[in-house]
Structure 1
Amino acid sequence: MESCKVVENIYLLVVVTLISVLQNVFFAQKVERECKNRNTSGSAFQRVSCANRNCMDAYPTFLAVMWCAGVCLSQAPAAFAGIIYLLVRQKYFIGYLGQSSQSTPGYLFGKRIISFLSLMCIVGIFNYLLWRFYGSDYKEYVETITNAASALLLLP
């Protein structure tokens, strides 16, 4: 029964992580396809390779802050932000295949989501420290604010 309780607290994060893995596979296949067609268009290969590398550079940070935010504060808004981040990352990747300037909005939006998740981490850890050392638990209040604030991620 205890393991079901643990899974209940993280299953949304697990789903988003698995979706992100599938997205990474998609990106890798695009790079491989362009690599095979390299003789036709070298610049297309360079763009897709660079887009993939940029996405992979930010991937560990995304996973770390999403999991930290979900475990330390609330999984639903963290998973929601994770899904939005994956959509933005897809937009960035596809935008990069055209002209690199088309990827800028996706890049900036992705930074905002990473910042939101980082803030969730900090608040969750701070709340834990308040509870641990002072006996004050504000988690319910913070979760309510976080759930409402996560909807603001949809604003461009």
Structure 2
Amino acid sequence: MKHKIMPPTVTGPPEFERTFRAHQNSIESYSIFLVVLWISGIFCNEVLAALGGLLYIVGREMYFTGYIRESKKRLPGFYLVLCALLFLTVTATIGIIQSFLSKYLNTRLL
């Protein structure tokens, strides 16, 4: 054990607390990521969804490693994750609208 912190204690040296917060934040945002990734891949385009997923993973790694070093160094990764989630949300929305229009109105958006 690197920091000698016994469970269930979640306080300790600053590096441990930043690591713990980064881990918790990653867990909290993972469910949103999975939902928009799958919807984007199913309803819009698998390649675009994979690209958005890759951006998310790279951004999450940048966020996590930056946060462990110093709180302010998490921002580039945070913005990349935010852009990836926004991209996946937009493609998922376009895919759902396109699916609705195609099925019920016999028209194509794109």
Runs of 4+ residues deviating >2 angstroms: none
Instruction: Give 1:74's aligned residue.
Output: 45
Distance in 2 between the 1:118 and 1:47 partners? 28
Between Structure 1 and Structure 2, which shows a larger proportion of helix residues? 1
Distance in 2 between the 1:43 and 1:101 partners? 14
| More moved, 96-105 vs 38-47 | 38-47
Distance in 2 between the 1:81 and 1:122 partners? 14
Equivalent position amino acid for 1:37 in 2: K
C-alpha deviation, 1:86, in angstroms: 0.2
Equivalent position amino acid for 1:99 in 2: E
Equivalent position amino acid for 1:94 in 2: T
Instruction: Give 2:80's aligned residue.
Output: 109
C-alpha deviation, 1:124, in angstroms: 0.5
- What CA deviation, in whole Å up to 9, does each residue of 1:100-129 have, x standing for no partner? 100011111211110110011111110011
Does structure 1 retain, via aligned residues, the 8 Å contact 2:55–2:80? no
- What CA deviation, in whole Å up to 9, does each residue of 1:40-73 have, x standing for no partner? 9721111111111111111010111011000001
Distance in 1 between the 2:4 and 2:53 partners? 37
Instruction: Give 1:54's aligned residue.
Output: 25
TM-score for the superposition, normalised by structure 1: 0.63
Distance in 2 between the 1:83 and 1:116 partners? 12
Residue segments in structure 1 that go unaligned for 5+ positions in a row = 1-35, 142-156
Equivalent position amino acid for 2:16 in 1: F
C-alpha deviation, 1:137, in angstroms: 2.6
Counterpart check, 1:83 vs 2:54: yes
Secondary structure of 1:38 counterpart: coil
Residue segments in structure 2 that go unaligned for 5+ positions in a row = 6-11
Provide the identity percentage. Answer: 26
TM-score for the superposition, normalised by structure 2: 0.88
